[in-house]
């Protein structure tokens, strides 16, 4: 299957759809004129995406779905049922359905569709915008190996891809889908420190970004455990040790673990709430 010949539809034109459209069009894996997007009702937003990325848009679900080979579901989990009901009549079995929705299972989507379409669940993150998403992928029961390969190839245009078992998706949603927000939250705290210390934001922000980038590269390219890397920074009686002690006093690790547990739990809850 050649990806360049495929026509791709986005049902939902919010922040995640935009991040993926930006990544895909920048890498030219799919040409912009093969991408079409629609949303619930916000026409202005569709015009914005058309102007920004040169994609096509339409307010007609029929046009969008009938003209496409790969349908990317990019609405909120609460909207899945009405969204599939609206497009069901235009969904022939050859169309591949890709879902970005947190929590919602392939089985439920297959049930809503009522045919034997290949359904593939992906969990990207907003770093897709710059081709740096860490995307996990899992397949529904009618998706063949070649279909999964095609979607993997498509998602490679926005960053790395990893195939996982569907039951692990809730936890990976925490670790990679939602996690950028947790790292940003930490940087927001550092921003407050920058202000408190009277430092120049223009100087401090790039230093913080480079520090995170360096940490990410060290984790990705050295074979050393995070604890080993941390210990190499921590001189006995030095500055880092003083900082780490304070984090431990504030139960930093427990807070992070609780945060990831709650995120995972919420993904499961979304499934319970919206799979009727």
Could you tell me which residues are annotated as the binding site for NADP(+)?
11-16, 74-77
Tokens representing 119 are: 């359904």
- Give the nearer residue to ligand A1CAB in terms of CB position, either 135 or 178: 178
Out of 57, 147, 178, 264, point to the residue binding ligand A1CAB (CB under 6 A).
178
DSSP track, 146-209: HHHHHHHHHHHTTEEEEE--GGGHHHHIIIIIIHHHHHHHHHHHHHHHHHHTT--HHHHHHHHH
Tokens representing 159 are: 């960053």
Q: Does 83 bind ligand A1CAB (CB under 6 A)?
A: no
Binding mask 91-130 for ligand A1CAB (x = CB under 6 A): -----------x----------------------------
Query: Where would I find the H helices in 60-175?
Result: 61-66, 80-87, 106-113, 145-156, 169-172
- Residue that has been written with the tokens 């069901």 in this structure: 88
Out of 50, 63, 79, 275, point to the residue binding ligand NDP (CB under 6 A).
79
Out of 112, 173, 264, 271, point to the residue binding ligand A1CAB (CB under 6 A).
173
- As a whole number of Å, the CA-based R_g of the chain is 21
Q: How far is the CB of 247 from ligand A1CAB (least distance, A)?
A: 25
Q: Which residue is nearest to ligand A1CAB (CB)?
A: 177
Q: CA-to-CA distance for 220 and 231, rounded, in angstroms?
A: 17
CA distances from 228 to 68, 137, 210, 252, 262 (A): 49, 30, 21, 18, 28
Among 38-46, 147-155, 188-196, 204-212, which window interacts with ligand NDP (CB under 6 A)? 38-46
Task: Report the interface residues with ligand NDP, using CB under 6 A.
Answer: 11-17, 38-42, 45, 74-77, 79, 82-83, 86, 100-102, 123-126, 177
Task: Report the interface residues with ligand A1CAB, using CB under 6 A.
Answer: 102, 173, 177-178
């Amino acid at each position: 299957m050649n990806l360049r010949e495929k026509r791709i539809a986005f049902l939902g034109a919010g922040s995640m759809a935009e991040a993926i459209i930006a990544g895909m069009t920048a890498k030219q894996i799919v040409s912009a004129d093969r991408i079409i997007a629609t949303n619930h009702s916000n026409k202005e937003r569709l015009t914005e995406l058309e102007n920004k990325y040169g994609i096509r848009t339409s307010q007609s679900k029929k046009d969008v779905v009938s003209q496409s080979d790969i349908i990317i579901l990019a609405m909120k989990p609460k909207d899945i049922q009405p969204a599939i009901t609206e497009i069901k009549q235009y969904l022939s079995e050859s169309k591949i359905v890709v879902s970005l929705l947190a929590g919602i299972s392939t089985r439920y989507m297959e049930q809503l569709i009522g045919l034997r379409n290949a359904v593939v669940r992906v969990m990207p993150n907003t770093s897709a915008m710059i081709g740096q998403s860490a995307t996990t992928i899992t397949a529904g029961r009618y998706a063949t190996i070649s279909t999964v390969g095609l979607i993997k190839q498509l998602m490679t245009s926005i960053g790395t891809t990893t195939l996982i078992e569907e039951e692990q998706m809730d936890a990976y949603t925490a670790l990679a889908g939602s996690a950028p927000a947790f790292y940003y939250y930490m940087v927001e705290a550092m921003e407050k420190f920058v202000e408190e210390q009277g430092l120049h934001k223009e100087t401090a922000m790039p230093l913080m970004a480079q520090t995170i980038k360096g940490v990410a590269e060290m984790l990705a390219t050295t074979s050393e455990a995070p604890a080993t890397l941390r210990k190499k920074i921590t001189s006995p009686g030095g500055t880092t040790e003083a900082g780490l002690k304070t984090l431990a006093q504030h139960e930093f690790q427990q807070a992070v673990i609780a945060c990831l547990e709650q995120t995972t739990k919420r993904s499961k809850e979304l499934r319970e709430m919206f799979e009727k």
